Structure 1
Amino acid sequence: MKPLATSFLTALASAAVLGLIPGALAHGDDMDMNMGEADKPKPEDQYPPTYFALAEHGGLIYGHIALMVLAWVFVLPVAVLAVMLSIARSRHRLLAQFIFLAANAGGVLLGAIYNASTPDLYPNNAHHKIGWIATWLIGAQGVVGLLASVAGILKRRAPDRASRDGERQSFIPVSTEAIAEHESRFPKAFRFSNDSGQGTEPNTESLRSHSLSGADSPPIPLRDVRSEYKEADDDEVSLVDIPLVPRSGVARIVVQKAAQVISSRFWKVLMFGYNFVDRTSLILGFIALCTGLITFCRFFEGDAVFTGLAHWIKGGIFFWLGILTLGRWAGSFGELGWAWNIRPKQAGQKWRPSAEFVESALIFFYGSTNIFLEHLGGWGGAWSAQDLEHVSITVLFIGGGLCGMLIESTRIRDLLNATVTEAANASPDHVHQDEERNELQEPQTYRFSMNPIPALVILLLGIMMSSHTQESMVSSMIHKQWGNLLTGASFARAFTYVLIYLKPPTSIYPSRPPTELLTAFGLISGGIIFMASLTIQSGDTVDGMIHYQLDAMFMYTVTMGFVGLLMAWVIMVVALKGWAVRREAAASFGR
C-alpha cells in the first residue's frame, strides 16, 4: 500500500508542477510584451479628481481611515473584544462592544467633518449609506446586548447544568397538605407563622397562608422556598458581572425597567437579530470598507458600476471562502465535522450539511443568479463574445454546484449503491463468513466527504482567467496572477483529498492538513487581486494603476504581504475565541 501511495503522490506532484510550468512561461512572455496605447497614462486633465489626490484636510480622511480599520479589522473580530466574546457569551462582551462603538463613532465624526470641508467628488456614493446602516445596526446590537444581559437573556454556558437540574429536583418544596400533617404532629416545633396552631385541616384558612417559619425564626415566603436553590446556582449574567452597569444608582434602575417592559416573545425577535448581526457584522464591515475604498479612489461611476460589482462581488466571495478555509483548518465548525475531523456525537444530534455541500450550494446559487447579470453593462446592446464567455462561466458554476450537491447527498449515494446491495441480498439464506461480513461494511471513506467538484470549478475558472486576453498588458498580467493563484489553491485542495483518502480522520479533533493553508492563501490572495483586475474599458482600478504608474507586480507583492499578516491575524482571533470559551467555562464551574 505504501509504495503505491508514494508512486501516486509522486505522479500527482509531477502533474501539478507540469501544470504550473505554462503559467510561469506565460508570465515571462508577459514581461516581454510591448506596452500599447492602453498602458499609457492619460493626461492629467482627462483623469477625474479623486479624494486620494486631494491634498486638503488629508489628516481628517486618514484619521477616519485609521479609526475605521482599527474598529472593524482589529477591534470587532478579536475574542477579547466584540464578536468572539459575544459568541463565547463572555462577561466582558459589552465592554468590548462599547470600545468598538467608541472607535467607530470617532471615525464617523472625522468622516463627517471631512465631508463638510471638502467638495463632493463622488455624488450619491454607496459608502455613506452603507456606513450609516452598519453604524446603526451595531449600535442597536449594543443596546440590545445591554438590556439582554440585565434581563438575564444572555446566559453563560454551564457545563454542569444537567447535573444541577437533577439536584434541583431533589429539593422540590413539599405540598401544603404535607406541611399541615407535619404541623399537626409537631405543633410547637414547626407551624405557619400566622396560624394559632388550630385548624390544621387541609382546606382551612390557616393552611392557605403564604409563609413558613420555625418556632423562633422569621417567616420565609413559600415562593422563596421554591426559588432558593434555583437562585443559588443560576447561570445568568448578573448586573455585577457587567462592567458598564453600576451596581446601584439611577442607571441601573433605568436599564432594569427598560428590560422588564419587553415581552418574552419580543425578546426572541430581538435575540434573533442580535445573533444575526453577531455572525454577519464582519461581512458588513468588509462591504463598508470596500465601498469606502471605491469612494476614496472614485471607482465605478456611471455604467462601470455593473462591471465593478461583478468583479468585487466575485473577488469578495473567493476572499471569504479563503477565510472560511483557514478557519476550518484552525478548528472552526469542528462541532459540525467541517474541520477535517469526525463530528462529535451528541444526544439528539440532527443532520447538518457537510462543508463541501455548502460550497457546492454557494457555487450553484452564485451561477444561477449571476447568469442574468452578465449583460447589464451593455444593456440594450448586442451580446459580445466576451459576454458569452462570462455566461458560459456561470453555466459552469450552475452545473458544477448541482453536481457537487448531488455527490454530497447520502440518499443519492444509497441509490447509486442499489445494484450492489441488491446483489448482496440476492441470497438471504446464505451464511456469511467473518471476511464476507467485513466486505458488507461501508468503507471508511464514506465517513468523510471527499468532493473535488468545488475545487474543479475553481481550477477551471483559474485556467480560463489566466488566458483571458485584455486590451492592456497590466490588466492581462493581473488576470493571469489571480488565475494562477486560484489554480494553485485548487491543486492544494486536491492534495488534501489525497491525504484524507489515504488516511481518513478518526478523531473529533481537527486534523489540520497542511495543504489547506496553501488553499486558504491562494483563495484569499486570488480574491483580492481579482477585485483589482477590472478591464481598461471600465476606466477603474487598472486605469488608476496606469495613471499612478504602478505595475502589476506592485499589486501582487503588496497583496502577498497583506495576506500573510491577515492569515496570522485570523489564527490569533480563533485562538483567542478558544481562550474566552475556556475562561467562561472555568468561571461556570467555579460558581
Structure 2
Amino acid sequence: MLPLRKAVLSSAPLLLALLLPALALAQHSHNEELVDSGMSGMDAAPESPAELAPDAPPSYWMHPERVSMVYAHIALSILAWVIVMPLAVMLSIARSKLKVVAQFAFVVVNALCVFTGILYNTSTPDLYENNSHHKAGWIISLIATGWAVMGLITLYSDSKSDRTHQYRPLLQPVTQQAMEEYDQFNGQKPEDLRWSGDSGQGTERNTNSLCHSSRSNSWNSETGSFPTHHNQEPYPDVDDEPEDTLEKRRIVPYAAVDGFLSKHIPRYASGVTLKAFDILYATLTRFQVIMGFVALMTGMVTYGGIARDNNVFTVLAHFIKGGIFFWYGLLALGRWMGCFSDFGWAWNSKPGAEIVGKGKARMPSAEFSESFLIWLYGVTNVFLEHLGAWGGEWSATDLEHVSITIMFAGGGMLGMLIESTTVRKLLAASFSTPERQTEGWKQPDTYKHSMNPIPALIIMLLGKMMSSHTQHSATSGMIHSQWGNLFMMGSLARGATYIIMWLKPPTGYLPSRPPSELIASFCLVSGGMLFMASNGDTVVALESYNLDAMFIYTVVMGLTSALMAWEVIVIAFKGWAVKRGQNISAVSALAPVA
C-alpha cells in the first residue's frame, strides 16, 4: 500500500483556535475604536457578544464562564491533532521505531484534551444539545488510542525478524584469487577501490575523514581481501543473545513488560493474522489525520453554535464541499514534493512494473482520478440540490445548482474518456497500422504524460459561476466571490503546469516540481477554507459582529501559508525518518558479531 505522504495533514482546523477567538478580539478592538472616536453614537460599546447578537441562540463562544478552560481544550486539540498526530503518522509510514514515542505523546496530549473537555462540560450548561462533537470526539479518540496500541504491537511483531535479518552480511566473503581475477577483468587495482556509498569528498586515502570513518567491508590493504568476520562464527540465535544486547534492543523500558510482549506478540502475530493486522493498521494510519479534521471541524461548529435545526444541511454541504477542495490542495502540494511518484503522479515519468510492481503500474493517472471524482460528485448530487425544498416549487437557484452538477457529470466523463488508454487506441486505429511502424510514425513524447485540462476547466467554471452567483447579503456574495476567484486562479495555474509539461515533458522518475503547482495548491487550500466559511450561519455571525468579508479572507490567507509550510516540514520529517532507518539498518548489518 502506498504511503499516504501527504499527508497528508489536516491543519485547516487551526481555524478552531484562530478564527473564533480572533473574531472576539477584532470586535473588542472595533468597539474600542468606536468609543475613542465618538462615532459609535452610544455612551459605551457593548461589553459582551450576547449584547451584539441578542437574538442569537446561546453558544459556548458567547458563554462568559470557564473561558480559559475551553481555550486550553482548543489548544490541546490543535497540539494533538495538528502537530503531534501528523508526525506520528509519518514515523509510522516510515516504519520507524520512534513511532511508539510519538504515538504515546499523542495519547497523552489527547487525554489531557479530553480531560479539559470533560471538566468544561461539567462546569457549564449544555448550550448545544445532542451535538455531534461529543459523540465524534469519543469515537475518534478511542480509535486513535487503539491505533497507538496497534503501533506497539506491530513494532514487536517485526522486531524478531528484524533482529534475525540484521546478521545477514551485505557481501559474501571474497577470496584473494577471486578479487585478483575481478581486478584483471575490470582493469582496477585494489588501492583504487572505494566504498560505493562514499561521495568521495574528503575521503581519499590517508585523509583524516577516512581514518575516522572506516568501513567494515572496505578493501584491506594488508590482507588483500575483504574482511571475513561474517564467516568466523555461525549466526547467533536471537533467543541466545547476551543480556546486555537485549537491554539495548529493549523497546519498553520495563524488563517484565518487554519480556512478556516480546515472547507472546510474535507467537500470535504471524501468517494470515499478521497480514490482516498490518492491513488494518496501515488503513487506520492513513485515516488518522482525516479523523482529526472531522473532530476539529465538529468542535468548531459546536463552539460557534451554528448548524442548528434545518440549517445543518446547508452548513454540512459547505463543509463537505469546501473540505474536498481543501484536501485537494494539500494533495497538489504533496504531488509537487514528490508524493505518489511511484504512481507517476508527481509530474514525473511513470515507473514500469519491473520497478514498482504490477499493482502500482496499473494505477490510473492523477487526471483520471480527478475526473472520476468530478463525475461522481455530479451524478450523486444531481438529485440532491432540491432536497432542502423537497415537494416545493423549483426555483431558479435550484435549476442553477442542478446545471452545475450536470456540468460536473459530463465534464468528469469527458476527462475519463480522454485518459482511457482503450479510447486512445481506438482513436489512433484509423491511421496507426503495423505497416507504418517507422520513425515517422513514432508516438510523440507528450503521449507518455497526461495533458488533460478538463478537470481544471470544470473547477475554473465553477469558480466563475459561484463568484457571480447572487447571494442573500453583500457579505455572503463577497465571500463567494473570493473563493470563486481563488478557484479560477488555481485552475489557471494548473493550465500553466500543462504548458510547462508540454514544452518539456519529464524524462525521469524524480518529481519535476513545476512552480505553478505551488500557486494551484495555495489557491485550492485557501479557497476550500473560504468555501467552508461561506455557509449562511457563519455569514450571519460575521455580520452580527460588524465584521466584513475581508476579515475572514485575511485570516484564511495567513492560515494557508502556515499550513503549507507545516505540510512541507512534515513530509521532510518523514524523509528524515526513512533515512535514519536506512542508516541504522546498514550499521546493524555491517557490525561484526560479538
1:156: Cα distance to partner?
A: 7.0
1:165: Cα distance to partner?
A: 9.8
1:569 aligns with 2:566: yes
1:476: Cα distance to partner?
A: 0.4
Task: Identify the match of residue 410 of structure 2 among 392, 399, 418.
Answer: 399
> Which has the larger displacement, 306-315 or 263-272?
263-272
Match of 1:530 in 2: 531
Q: Which amino acid aligns with 2:156?
A: V
Match of 1:50 in 2: 59
1:148: Cα distance to partner?
A: 2.0
1:135-214 equivalent positions in 2, closer than 5 A:
135-152=141-158
Between the aligned partners of 2:131 and 2:277, the Cα distance in structure 1 is 31
CA contact (8 A) 1:534 1:542 kept: yes
RMSD: 2.9
Match of 1:590 in 2: 587
Match of 2:5 in 1: none
CA contact (8 A) 1:90 1:156 kept: no
Q: Which amino acid aligns with 1:48?
A: P
1:330: Cα distance to partner?
A: 1.0
**1:379-422: CA deviation from partner (whole Å, max 9, x where unpaired):** 33322221221122111111111111111111111111111114
1:92 aligns with 2:92: no
In 2 relative to 1, CA 113–257 (structure 1 residues): closer, same or farther, beyond 3 Å?
A: same
With normalisation by structure 1, the TM-score equals 0.75
Task: Identify the match of residue 349 of structure 2 among 342, 349, 354.
Answer: 342
1:202-241 equivalent positions in 2, closer than 5 A:
228=235
Between the aligned partners of 1:76 and 1:108, the Cα distance in structure 2 is 15
Q: Which amino acid aligns with 2:65?
A: E
Match of 1:516 in 2: 517
Match of 2:107 in 1: 101
In structure 2, the residue corresponding to 1:374 is in which secondary structure? coil
Match of 1:352 in 2: 363
Between the aligned partners of 2:248 and 2:387, the Cα distance in structure 1 is 54
CA contact (8 A) 2:408 2:458 kept: yes
Match of 1:498 in 2: 499
Between the aligned partners of 2:58 and 2:152, the Cα distance in structure 1 is 45
Match of 1:331 in 2: 338
Q: Which amino acid aligns with 1:132?
A: W
CA contact (8 A) 2:53 2:545 kept: no
**1:441-480: CA deviation from partner (whole Å, max 9, x where unpaired):** 1110011111111101100000000101112000000000
In 2 relative to 1, CA 287–556 (structure 1 residues): closer, same or farther, beyond 3 Å?
A: same
Match of 1:412 in 2: 423
Task: Identify the match of residue 248 of structure 1 among 243, 255, 260.
Answer: 255
In 2 relative to 1, CA 95–489 (structure 1 residues): closer, same or farther, beyond 3 Å?
A: same
1:258: Cα distance to partner?
A: 5.2
Match of 2:80 in 1: 71
In structure 1, the residue corresponding to 2:432 is in which secondary structure? helix
Q: Which amino acid aligns with 1:499?
A: I
In 2 relative to 1, CA 254–437 (structure 1 residues): closer, same or farther, beyond 3 Å?
A: closer
In 2 relative to 1, CA 483–243 (structure 1 residues): closer, same or farther, beyond 3 Å?
A: farther
1:528: Cα distance to partner?
A: 0.4
Match of 2:551 in 1: 554
Between the aligned partners of 1:588 and 1:100, the Cα distance in structure 2 is 27
In 2 relative to 1, CA 76–242 (structure 1 residues): closer, same or farther, beyond 3 Å?
A: farther
Q: Which amino acid aligns with 1:459?
A: M
Match of 1:176 in 2: none
Between the aligned partners of 1:131 and 1:357, the Cα distance in structure 2 is 35
Between the aligned partners of 1:302 and 1:465, the Cα distance in structure 2 is 26
Task: Identify the match of residue 319 of structure 2 among 312, 319, 331.
Answer: 312
Between the aligned partners of 1:445 and 1:553, the Cα distance in structure 2 is 43
Task: Identify the match of residue 542 of structure 1 among 511, 527, 539.
Answer: 539
1:263: Cα distance to partner?
A: 5.9
Task: Identify the match of residue 373 of structure 1 among 373, 381, 384.
Answer: 384
In 2 relative to 1, CA 342–231 (structure 1 residues): closer, same or farther, beyond 3 Å?
A: farther
Q: Which amino acid aligns with 1:94?
A: V
Task: Identify the match of residue 288 of structure 1 among 295, 308, 329.
Answer: 295
Match of 1:385 in 2: 396
1:108: Cα distance to partner?
A: 0.5
1:462 aligns with 2:459: no
1:93-132 equivalent positions in 2, closer than 5 A:
93-132=99-138
Between the aligned partners of 2:169 and 2:406, the Cα distance in structure 1 is 56
Between the aligned partners of 1:494 and 1:488, the Cα distance in structure 2 is 10
1:239: Cα distance to partner?
A: 7.6
**1:131-166: CA deviation from partner (whole Å, max 9, x where unpaired):** 1121111111111121222122797799x99x9699
In 2 relative to 1, CA 532–438 (structure 1 residues): closer, same or farther, beyond 3 Å?
A: same
1:363 aligns with 2:374: yes
1:586: Cα distance to partner?
A: 1.4
CA contact (8 A) 1:318 1:523 kept: yes
How many residue pairs align between the two structures?
A: 472
Query: Which consecutive residues of structure 2, in runs of 5 or more, have no partner in the other structure?
Result: 1-49, 174-233, 589-594
**1:223-278: CA deviation from partner (whole Å, max 9, x where unpaired):** xxxx947859x9xxx98677751362245315643553456433333222210111
Between the aligned partners of 2:169 and 2:399, the Cα distance in structure 1 is 64
Between the aligned partners of 2:51 and 2:161, the Cα distance in structure 1 is 60
In 2 relative to 1, CA 43–576 (structure 1 residues): closer, same or farther, beyond 3 Å?
A: closer
1:325: Cα distance to partner?
A: 0.2
1:110: Cα distance to partner?
A: 0.3
Match of 1:322 in 2: 329
Between the aligned partners of 2:364 and 2:159, the Cα distance in structure 1 is 29
Q: Which amino acid aligns with 1:543?
A: V
In 2 relative to 1, CA 157–559 (structure 1 residues): closer, same or farther, beyond 3 Å?
A: farther
Match of 1:451 in 2: 452
CA contact (8 A) 1:239 1:245 kept: no
Between the aligned partners of 1:444 and 1:154, the Cα distance in structure 2 is 48
Match of 2:214 in 1: none
Q: Which amino acid aligns with 2:320?
A: I
1:62 aligns with 2:71: yes
1:338: Cα distance to partner?
A: 0.9
Q: Which amino acid aligns with 1:278?
A: T
CA contact (8 A) 2:84 2:106 kept: yes
Between the aligned partners of 2:545 and 2:249, the Cα distance in structure 1 is 51
With normalisation by structure 2, the TM-score equals 0.74
Between the aligned partners of 1:108 and 1:42, the Cα distance in structure 2 is 31
Q: Which amino acid aligns with 2:85?
A: L
CA contact (8 A) 2:160 2:238 kept: no
Match of 2:439 in 1: 438
Between the aligned partners of 1:256 and 1:541, the Cα distance in structure 2 is 56
In structure 2, the residue corresponding to 1:505 is in which secondary structure? coil
Between the aligned partners of 1:102 and 1:243, the Cα distance in structure 2 is 22
Task: Identify the match of residue 134 of structure 1 among 113, 135, 140.
Answer: 140
**1:287-322: CA deviation from partner (whole Å, max 9, x where unpaired):** 111111000001111111111111110000000000
Match of 1:473 in 2: 474
Between the aligned partners of 2:479 and 2:494, the Cα distance in structure 1 is 23
CA contact (8 A) 1:156 1:588 kept: no
CA contact (8 A) 2:73 2:114 kept: yes
In 2 relative to 1, CA 261–510 (structure 1 residues): closer, same or farther, beyond 3 Å?
A: closer
In 2 relative to 1, CA 154–440 (structure 1 residues): closer, same or farther, beyond 3 Å?
A: farther
